[in-house]
Amino acid sequence: MTKDTLSAASARHPKPPNTTFAYGTAGFRTLGSLLDSTVFRVGVLAALRSAKLRGKTIGVMITASHNPPQDNGVKVVDPLGEMLPQLWEPYATQLANSDNLEDDVRDIVAREKIDVAQAGLVVVGMDTRETSPQLLRAAVDGIEVFGRAKSFGELTTPQLHYLVRSHNDPGFGEPSEKGYNKKIVSAVEEILRLWNVSEPLEITVDAANGVGAPKLRNLSSDLFNISVVNSNTQDKSALNVECGADYVKTNQKLPANVQPRDHQLYSSFDGDADRVVFYYTDNSRFQLLDGDRIATLLASFINKLLQQAKVEAKMGIIQTAYANGDSTKYIQETLQIPVDFTPTGVKHLHHKAQEYDIGVYFEANGHGTVLFSEKLISKLKCTHTGLPEEERALKTLVLLTEVINQTVGDSISDLFAVLLALRIQNKTCVDWGKDYTELPNKLFKVIVKDRFVFKTTDAERRLVEPAGLQAKIDALVAAYVRGRSFVRASGTENAVRVYSEAASAADCADLGARVCQLLE
Ligand code: NG1
Ligand code: ZN
């Protein structure tokens, strides 16, 4: 171990007093001003992870996604673009809180039998927050204790995942931002040509004043026309404020600076462009098309293509407890596709989706993707029938696997997948909104003394602790037609979330408010 370097480098990144860090659903997340030492230590851990995997490229992303501008965060990305395995999360927490970094690093090296000399490359990206450049430097400092760092500067989170994967798996695409753009744009163009679409795809995107704005502008083609609003990444206080996917989904209303024309499709990204939601207005009434709708649209589109291609594949849709009850009913009864539930957090959904030939997973908030198994992709590529309609469907499916980010939810990829699904099926946003009606639903945030006392089971749909609380929730829920409500601690904010839905909006609000009262 290069002991002197570790202690010398670590001395430049002192740990703030009286702060405890925990690696949660989305890595570490808190005020950006508190994160310097943590990001440095994550850099050290990322290099150790690379060494453990004998020099594979690892990723570090600096972002706090949809959180307010003063927050920041950091997470580690594994070689194929997956999240850091759960087994390693305690190491991240251990290092972040360590008062004796050298001993704790030595402990991890011994436990994992790591040869630190094998540490390879760690690629780093950041969002547009004020604290991001300084945190990026801290990450690089940490990485260079054992490994090599390559900084890509501002990136969307999914672009960083793409870069990690393409460094380890050259068949995935060129390991550069240009390579990412080229992969998506050429697949979109090719699909449009296959279907003789000449009118460009059009949409207005609210980029949350985040990194999605400049990245969308880098994509150009005669075959699409994307206008971007809320694209001010210079004003650091504007990020996610009254705009962006989380604002639109949580408040169920339009973001600032979108003056919609009725029956036109709009969309919102979040601050690091891994979530997307859509919406339109109908007689000025706001209609949200959230992650549940994206899942059903893409699943039914892909199903249709599979039928046209005469290819059998096992498809499943993965949801969390936040999925609207009516979306689940529509998937099971109308689309007749199996649904699985997992705890919140894309790593759980992603893992489950890998059990299918085609796993469609979206959180209601718009974070998700569609995974195609390698076996199915090879089958699609090898099947040739000579019949034009079948050939076209086969090619479209293969190209869709290039449009849709296979590593993680991606606003840009999902945006194009949705626009293609609508255009090719000749479906308007209003048709999409009428696929099923949605139960009124509401999300509440309650600040409690200690959110860690809330322990759940059954994919987070039921509380086991504090004792007795679930029975009280059940009693409340029973009084409402199609009532459903659950309580869980947030993994990214210091709060407890309450979700409610019911047959009427008034009942939904009432049920949610009563469940919140139980927490006081
Ligand atoms: P928490 O704060 O654990 O509820 C939120 C989202 C998750 C996920 C993570 C990561 C909701 C209700 N929760 O998690 O779905 O996206 O952030 O960004 O939307
Ligand atoms: Zn995000």
Spell out the per-residue pLDDT of the chain, length 520, in tens.
Answer: 554 699 999 999 999 999 999 998 789 999 999 999 999 999 999 999 999 999 999 999 999 999 999 999 999 999 999 999 999 999 999 999 999 999 999 999 999 999 999 999 999 999 999 999 999 999 999 999 999 999 999 999 999 999 999 999 999 999 999 999 999 999 999 999 999 998 999 999 999 999 999 999 999 999 999 999 999 999 999 999 999 999 999 999 999 999 999 999 999 999 999 999 999 999 989 999 999 999 999 999 999 999 999 999 999 999 999 999 999 999 999 999 999 999 998 889 999 999 999 999 999 999 999 999 999 999 999 998 889 999 999 999 999 999 999 999 999 999 999 999 999 999 999 999 999 999 999 999 999 999 999 999 999 999 999 999 999 999 999 999 999 999 999 988 889 999 999 999 999 999 999 999 999 8
**Same domain (yes/no): 50, 124:** yes
Contacts of 488 by beta carbon, 8 Å cutoff, 6+ apart: 321, 344, 454, 456, 460, 463, 496, 497
- Say how far residue 482 (Cα) sits from the centre of its chain: 29
Distance from the alpha carbon of residue 346 to the mean position of ligand 1, in angstroms: 9
Integer Cα distance of 323 and 319 in angstroms: 6
Q: CATH number of the domain that 227 lies in?
A: 3.40.120.10
pLDDT at 305: 98
Look up the ipTM and state it: 0.97
Distance from the alpha carbon of residue 367 to the mean position of ligand 1, in angstroms: 9
pLDDT at 3: 47
Residue 64 within any structural domain of the chain: yes
The sign of the torsion formed by the CA atoms of 404, 407, 412, 414 equals: positive
Q: Is the CB of 328 under 6 A from ligand 1?
A: no
* Residues, CB-to-ion distance under 5 Å, ligand 2: 65, 270, 272, 274
Q: Is the CB of 68 under 6 A from ligand 1?
A: no
Residue 167 within any structural domain of the chain: no
Residue 100 within any structural domain of the chain: yes
**Same domain (yes/no): 338, 446:** no
Contacts of 314 by beta carbon, 8 Å cutoff, 6+ apart: 356, 357, 358
Residue 163 within any structural domain of the chain: no
**Same domain (yes/no): 46, 97:** yes
Q: Tell which of 228, 253, 288 closes a domain.
A: 288
Pocket test for ligand 1, best of 246, 492, 500, 501 (most atoms within 8 A of CB): 492
Residue 83 within any structural domain of the chain: yes
Q: Is the CB of 67 under 6 A from ligand 1?
A: no
Nearest residue (by CA) to ligand 1, atom 12, is 322
Question: Given the CA of residue 363, which atom of ligand 1 is nearest to it?
Answer: 15
Q: How many CB atoms lie within 10 A of CB 468?
A: 8
**Same domain (yes/no): 82, 34:** yes
Pocket test for ligand 1, best of 156, 446, 490, 496 (most atoms within 8 A of CB): 490
Nearest residue (by CA) to ligand 1, atom 18, is 26
Q: Tell which of 416, 433, 450 closes a domain.
A: 433
Distance from the alpha carbon of residue 185 to the mean position of ligand 1, in angstroms: 29
**Same domain (yes/no): 148, 28:** yes
Joined tokens for residue 136: 């990026």
Distance from the alpha carbon of residue 52 to the mean position of ligand 1, in angstroms: 30
Q: Is the CB of 23 under 6 A from ligand 1?
A: no
Q: How many CB atoms lie within 10 A of CB 218?
A: 12
**Same domain (yes/no): 23, 80:** yes
Residue 231 within any structural domain of the chain: yes
Instruction: Report which bound ligand comes closest to the CA of 343.
Output: 1
Question: Given the CA of residue 499, which atom of ligand 1 is nearest to it?
Answer: 12
**Same domain (yes/no): 145, 212:** no
Nearest residue (by CA) to ligand 1, atom 8, is 345
Distance from the alpha carbon of residue 62 to the mean position of ligand 1, in angstroms: 17
**Same domain (yes/no): 478, 399:** no
Question: Given the CA of residue 488, which atom of ligand 1 is nearest to it?
Answer: 4
**Same domain (yes/no): 57, 85:** yes
Residue 332 within any structural domain of the chain: yes
Q: How many domains does the chain have?
A: 4
Provide DSSP, 42-64.
Answer: HHHHHHHHHHHTTT--EEEEE--
Distance from the alpha carbon of residue 445 to the mean position of ligand 1, in angstroms: 12
Integer Cα distance of 77 and 165 in angstroms: 9
Nearest residue (by CA) to ligand 1, atom 16, is 345
**Same domain (yes/no): 447, 423:** no
The residue range of the domain holding 44 is: 3-154
**Same domain (yes/no): 121, 194:** no
Integer Cα distance of 493 and 445 in angstroms: 10
**Residues with a known catalytic role:** 65
**Is 449 exposed, middle or buried, given 0-12, 13-18 or 19+ CB atoms closer than 10 A?**
exposed
Q: Is the CB of 363 under 6 A from ligand 1?
A: yes
Integer Cα distance of 15 and 316 in angstroms: 45
**Same domain (yes/no): 31, 148:** yes
Residue 161 within any structural domain of the chain: no
Q: CATH number of the domain that 505 lies in?
A: 3.30.310.50
pLDDT at 198: 87
Q: Is the CB of 342 under 6 A from ligand 1?
A: no
Integer Cα distance of 268 and 415 in angstroms: 10
Q: Tell which of 154, 189, 222 closes a domain.
A: 154
Question: Given the CA of residue 491, which atom of ligand 1 is nearest to it?
Answer: 3
pLDDT at 1: 53
The percent of the chain in helix, strand and coil, each rounded to the nearest 5, is: 45, 20, 35
Q: What is the 3-state secondary structure (H, E, C) of 163-193?
A: HHHHHHCHHHCCCCHHHHHHHHHHHHHHHHH
Q: Is the CB of 71 under 6 A from ligand 1?
A: no
Q: Is the CB of 319 under 6 A from ligand 1?
A: no
